[in-house]
Structure 1
Amino acid sequence: MDDTAKYLIHASISADGVVERSDVVGAIFGQTEGLLGDDLDLRDLQQSSKVGRIDVQIDSENGHSFGQMTIASSLDKVETAILAASLETLTRVGPCQAVIEVTNIEDVREAKRRMVVERAKELLTESFDDTVMTSSEILEEVKESVRVEDITEYHDLPAGPRVADSDAIIVVEGRADVLTLLRYGIKNAVAVEGTNIPDDVASLTQERTVTAFLDGDRGGELILRELSQVGDVDYVAFAPDAQSVEDLDRGAVIRALRNKVAFSSLPDDGNFRAAVAAATGAAGVPSDPRPESPTTDDSSSTPSADAPTDAVTEASSDTGGAVTVEKTANTAATADTSADTTADADVLSDPEVEAVAEAVEPVQPSMSLSDHVRETISDGSGLARLLDSDLNLLDEVAVEKIYDTLEHTDSVPRLVVVDGEASQKLIDIAAQRGVSDVVARSKGEYVKKPVSVRVRTSDQLLT
């Protein structure tokens, strides 16, 4: 029957007493027998497989039963609608008064059509590759693959290919940071892979000009403290606060290295990130909660005069700069006018600047219950609102979805405002979920009204 069904009749049931599935099924067969004549007799229709089994799910609570039932039909639209309407003639289930309401009749074929359409969309998106790469994208992808393949090892540590022979090196935290710098043409970075600085890196820092380029978090600061104790650090650069080196774009990487600060200018007992931020004028780095040292001089707030003005230099440079850059990528890092223009453009996209410029949403004034009732019911919105104990809006849905929303919402509302009727089903679900008040356009006819739910109309509140 399930394979040939064309329609599904969905109905809700509410009974004034404790009933079971068998009571409901028996009542349906007993009270519809002979009602529609021989051609639409429910027993005959089931025997001829024109109507499927009656699926009933019912629960009982506080001496009251409520639930859902479904009937599959292969009849035509008119016959199915008549059969569905006959269910609403039931007035009793067993010894209890009951109300059955048909909520909707689902077209099974339409549901299958929607499933076919959605699946076709997925297949169209996933199975066909319409991407056409431009010439510049092809060149960039090939260049990037070459740079990534250039990653090597220095004494079993991830490193760029120029670490072994470069006069200057950059110490970063992990392999992903090395890959990021390689992607931007910087080939002299080596990773320490944790706060325990390897002896090989400590020894290497004694022989080279060293820039520590670390994540903008507590972990980056701890690595710098360890590195300064076991090795020799010349310059320091941090990623923006709460960001990692591996997440930065090319402009942010070049800008951070260009604004590096001499390690000797940093206070011994201060917050390194705050000191670097103060020296470079960066925003968004938290200040050290500890008292400022009285012996700190002005050198902690400005870059050292000995620090190079440009952290990105050619491999052939004699200045001992921190970065060795692939020749084809050096045009953006040299000290000509176009590089300065690019750097200025990069500053505009800084996360710190974007955070400062971000608009702050105004605080909405609280609304009274009357305001909610006017907007929902008086204005004929066709909506239902779920409110908490402070009359704050938890959710707003279409009236026809209020049953499912109220039954499955995680945040249980104290009050529900509905632009419609406060039906038996609605107040039953409200009582089950612990809702104390329901405000509706009108009240329904109740078999048994839960005492825990107060039902009022909009006229009662607004007059």
Structure 2
Amino acid sequence: MKYVVKLTFEVEGSVDKPDVIGAIFGQTENLFGQEFDLRELQDKGRLGRIVVEIKNKGGKAEGYIEIPSNLDRVETALIASMVESVEKVGPYNAKFYLKEIEDVRAEKLKKIIDRAKQILAAWNRERNLDIKEVMNEISGAVKTGELIEFGPERLPAGPDVYTDPNLIIVEGRADIINLLRYGYKNTVAVEGASGKIPQSVIELSKNKKMVIAFLDGDHGGDMILKDLINANVKIDYVARAPVGREVEELTGKEIAKSLSNMIPFSQYLKKQQETLSSVVGRAEGAVKIENGEQQAVQVIEPPKEIEIKIPGNVMEDIKKLPGTLEGVIYDENWNLIEKVQVRDIIPKLEGLTNGASFIIFDGVITQRLLELAASKNVKLVIGVRIGGITKKPENVKVLTLTDVIGP
């Protein structure tokens, strides 16, 4: 639960806990329609069990109420106001007062931060001082201020993108900021590309002595590289973050190691071609290498682990998802189980006992979601992009919306 609504109450007569709970449910029913019916919200797991503590004394009653909430801030405030509006408990007049709405996550974050401070303090005592890392931390704020905009598309870039004879191409703004933090200024980001590389990057690469494509170590990095190839961007070397990691989260040492391990572009393509040689006959196209030069612009796609056919009507619904922050859950026959907000997909899936087979949503696919999906026997998960997945369940197929409906 995200929040706990805490109230006190006074009743002008002797009553019991069931009387108080009954008054709350009865006098808030249909105030704001079925969507905010307390019983309905409890059934859906959006509200927890209402806790009542009561004390009768001198023919009157007073007590304390807690209502756990998994709703957002606005909806939780509305629930608190609805309960405050209760005026009677049984035949007796009553008054309810909101004491506070506790942010459970804030308390949890505070504990995590306090524990992180303890861990860091112990770590600092145990390790040797790395003066280079200290200097990078001190100058980090200054270096991130060197971020500039490149080309008519106003792409994030380092200040030396025009003057340095070499160029590092990355995916996004956060990657540029992290590289600036460690002194790499000859950088430009394609900002996710979405299947189309900015023309200014294509022209810039032609005028550079050496161009390095420095990409995330996940499926998103593969997609960006494919876009660069299809746009005929001049690439001399390919560097990758460690598997499952993103450039934006690497330390200075990890960046240096990734760049030192970069592979000549032609060698990278040959390695990919050898890895996928068993599926050349089924691929739509292949990368062809002649005399160390790039001769084609289409990358072989790996075989699909699980063959799943998506009905036409479902495809039309999927095309409407981008930008909505919504998701849909289907059963094994592609019948709609429920349409939910992205933020509610995990709690909703946790509440389902069976039946979910396909999940499609306008959000990031996380390790936690995949593990939960595997435990619920979900066959397919489709999201906007794949996050830092360290271990993919074998029984769950994972795709992005771009894989399904194109950029």
TM superposition score normalised by structure 1: 0.33
Find the structure with the greater CA-based Rg: 1
TM superposition score normalised by structure 2: 0.38
